């Protein structure tokens, strides 16, 4: 770094948490650019210009700032803005992406437009910001990016598009932590504060007389201003205590949210009776691990005899008689149908969710969209990650259309239906889509009164896990795996944990204590 003034961009800096962080950053001497089109909480209306903007308050307090009305959804405008700032000031030092909107969507609810708009702002908007900032920072050899996710993206919450987008933002953050350019620090925060967006969401929950997401109460939340100092600290010039991490911020408490990790893996190839093994493994290994979110291993061998069962061992009578299959590849559709036929299940090949209404007595639906191609080598790792997230909004929206359609059929008929969503997890974007799918599935049973039992599988090899899919469709033992983060690889199947706090730091905020960085480093990487 030279002695030039640092330049920090805060999207969504017109109010709430974004404004609080922007004002705290300005007190470090940085030049702050707030990027905010100033719209209503739902993004549907432009708000009248305030008498004093965040930038105005910063300047009035003796700082340096300006505002921009560019939207994060406008990729070319964001790229142009960041380029102009780098040219004018000699670099772009940090970006905090707080921009967001909120609309009522859920597992079984929400219009297509609401789903697309929320996903576009939170997910494509973040990708646009990353795509504009990372090349500048990679060339300079330094920089900080701070994304914003939410507890709705890692706790079970029926927040639809918002939950899916925020989980994908977290996934992007975890991936970029392993591939960020040298000298560039990428993290994300999961903040909670009494903001207008949170107030609007809680008001909708109370009006609908539905359970709140985790018992949140405005009175128990910190003010947005309490998050300003810690937000500013995480993009300060010297901060490097963690990379590719999601940090919960609650004013005077910070927690590290760990990414999903494999907690159980079971061999699935060269097994003489895979159907029987799946039944036993579900009962003894997968279901307990999903309930406890930890492996049950480390003691007596649990599955030794299950790998070589008696030749006469039977798979239980299937729960399912009729299943619709919608697959983007003929070989996948054929493999799934063959496995289901072997269990006595009648299958119906369909191409659209609208076709579900024409099927009577439906017990299950399997959707397996074709994955997107792997990005060719040669690009830097971070660029490859971003390229593989092109189209993720459309992919998540398409999967959500199926969940709503299945819910409509199930609720109208009063018939329980299993929904199995297969995600191509061979790319970075595919893995983010799989995480978003699992996040959505976690709320499906409660949102439909147990009428829809949703399962998701991230397929991370070229092997088609047809027997695993048939097992999820047919077996009563799999019901506890509804909403689990199931995964299959080359010759194995298993289970990942849900994101969860792995360590917390409490202090007398909002000012950040001098020992914070050292302790955070040890939470992330024990000595």
Contacts of 312 (CB under 8 A, 6+ apart): none
Whether the CB-CB separation of 102 and 201 falls below 8 Å is answered with yes
- The predicted model gives 1-19 an average pLDDT of 90
| 20 has pLDDT over 50 | yes
Q: For 485, left (φ over 0), alpha (ψ -120 to 50), or beta?
A: beta
- List pLDDT tens digits, range 299-323: 989 998 888 876 666 677 777 899 9
Say how many residues make up the chain.
527
Task: Report the pLDDT value the prediction gives residue 213, as an integer from 0 to 100.
Answer: 47
CA atoms within 13 A on the CB side of 447: 28
Residue 212 is predicted with a pLDDT of: 46
Active site residue 126: no
Nearest 5°: phi and psi at 14? -75, -15
Question: Average pLDDT, stretch 78-94?
Answer: 97
Tell me if 7-257+501-524 shares its fold with 262-496.
yes
The candidate with the shortest Cα–Cα distance to 22, out of 11, 296, 345, 376, is: 11
Distance CA 8, CA 236 (A): 10
Fold of 7-257+501-524: Rossmann fold (3.40.50)
d(CA 360, CA 65): 62
Element (H, E) at 254: strand 253-258
Q: Assign 3-class secondary structure to 1-63.
A: CCCCCCEEEEECCCCHHHHHHHHHHHCCCCEEEEECCCECCCCCCECCCCCCCHHHHHHHCCC
pLDDT of residue 311: 60
Q: Which helix (H) or strand (E) holds 516?
A: helix 516-524
What lies within 8 Å, CB to CB, of 61 at 6+ separation is: 23, 26, 27
Q: Which of 107, 115, 126, 162 is catalytic?
A: 162
- On whether the 262-496 domain is CATH 3.40.1010.10, my answer is no
Query: With pLDDT > 90 as the criterion, what percentage of the chain qualifies?
Result: 84
- Rounded to an integer, the average pLDDT of 144-170 is 96
Interval 50-68: pLDDT, tens:
889 999 999 999 999 999 9
pLDDT in tens, 224-270: 999 999 999 999 999 999 999 999 999 889 999 999 999 999 999 98
**CA-based Rg of the chain, rounded to a whole angstrom?**
24
Alpha-carbon distance of 320 to 318, in angstroms, equals 5
Cα 451 from Cα 52, distance rounded (Å): 51
Q: Which pLDDT does position 300 carry in this prediction?
A: 86
Residue 498 has pLDDT above 90, yes or no: yes
Query: How confident is the model at residue 400, as a pLDDT?
Result: 96
Q: Which residue has the higher pLDDT, 420 or 203?
A: 420
* Helix boundaries (H) for 156-273: 160-177, 196-208, 228-233
The lowest-confidence range among 134-138, 216-220, 341-345, 507-511 is 216-220
Does the structure show a pLDDT above 60 at 1?
Answer: no
Q: Which residues pair with 186 in a beta bridge?
A: 145
pLDDT in tens, 452-477: 999 999 999 999 999 999 999 999 99
Q: Which residue has the tokens 């299993």?
A: 418
Contacts of 137 (CB under 8 A, 6+ apart): 92, 143, 145, 181, 183, 184
**Token couple for 191:** 């903040």
**For position 372, what pLDDT does the model report?**
87
Domain boundaries, the chain: 7-257+501-524, 262-496
């Amino acid at each position: 770094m030279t002695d030039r003034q640092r330049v920090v961009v805060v999207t969504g800096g017109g109010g709430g948490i974004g404004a609080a962080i922007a004002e705290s950053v300005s007190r470090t001497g940085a030049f702050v650019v707030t990027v905010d089109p100033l719209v209503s909480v739902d993004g549907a209306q432009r708000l009248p210009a305030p008498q004093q903007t965040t930038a105005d308050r910063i300047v009035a307090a003796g700082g340096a700032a300006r505002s921009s009305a560019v939207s994060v959804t406008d990729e070319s405008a964001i790229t142009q803005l960041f380029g102009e700032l780098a040219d004018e000031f000699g670099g772009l030092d940090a970006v905090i992406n707080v921009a967001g909107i909120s609309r009522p969507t859920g597992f079984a609810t929400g219009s297509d437009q609401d789903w697309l708009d929320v996903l576009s702002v939170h997910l494509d908007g973040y990708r646009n910001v990353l795509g504009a900032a990372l090349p500048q920072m990679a060339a300079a050899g330094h920089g900080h990016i701070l994304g914003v996710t939410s507890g709705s993206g890692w706790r079970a919450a029926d927040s639809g598009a918002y939950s899916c987008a925020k989980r994908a933002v977290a996934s992007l953050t975890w991936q970029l932590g392993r591939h960020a350019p040298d000298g560039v620090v990428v993290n994300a925060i999961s903040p909670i504060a009494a903001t207008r967006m949170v107030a609007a969401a809680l008001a909708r929950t109370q009006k609908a007389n539905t359970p709140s997401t985790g018992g949140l109460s405005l009175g128990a939340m910190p003010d947005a201003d309490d998050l300003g100092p810690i937000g500013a600290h995480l993009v300060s010039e010297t901060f490097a205590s963690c990379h590719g991490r999601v940090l919960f911020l609650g004013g005077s408490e910070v927690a590290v949210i760990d990414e999903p990790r494999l907690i159980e893996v079971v061999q699935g190839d060269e097994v003489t009776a895979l159907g029987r093994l799946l039944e036993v493994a579900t009962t003894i290994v997968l279901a307990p691990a999903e309930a406890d979110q930890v492996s049950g291993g480390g003691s007596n061998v649990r599955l030794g005899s299950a790998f070589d069962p008696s030749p006469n061992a039977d798979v239980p009578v299937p729960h399912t008689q009729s299943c619709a299959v919608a697959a983007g590849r003929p070989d996948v559709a054929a493999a799934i149908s063959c496995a289901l036929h072997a269990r006595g299940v009648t299958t119906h090949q369909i191409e659209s969710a609208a076709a579900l209404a024409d099927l009577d007595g439906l017990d299950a639906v399997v959707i397996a969209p074709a994955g997107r191609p792997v990005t060719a080598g040669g690009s830097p790792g971070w660029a490859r990650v971003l390229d593989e997230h092109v189209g993720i909004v459309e992919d998540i929206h398409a999967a959500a259309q199926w969940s709503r359609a299945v819910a409509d059929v199930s609720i109208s008929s009063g018939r329980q239906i299993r929904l199995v969503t297969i995600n191509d997890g061979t790319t970075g974007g595919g893995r983010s889509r799989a995480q978003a799918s699992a996040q959505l599935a976690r709320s499906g049973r409660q949102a439909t009164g147990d009428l829809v039992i949703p399962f998701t599988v991230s397929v991370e090899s070229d092997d088609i896990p047809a027997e695993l899919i048939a097992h999820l469709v047919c077996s009563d033992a799999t019901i506890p795996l509804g909403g689990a983060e199931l995964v299959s690889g080359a010759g194995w199947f298993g289970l990942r944990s849900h994101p969860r706090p792995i360590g917390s730091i409490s202090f007398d905020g909002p000012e950040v204590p001098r020992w914070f960085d050292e302790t955070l480093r040890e939470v992330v990487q024990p000595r």
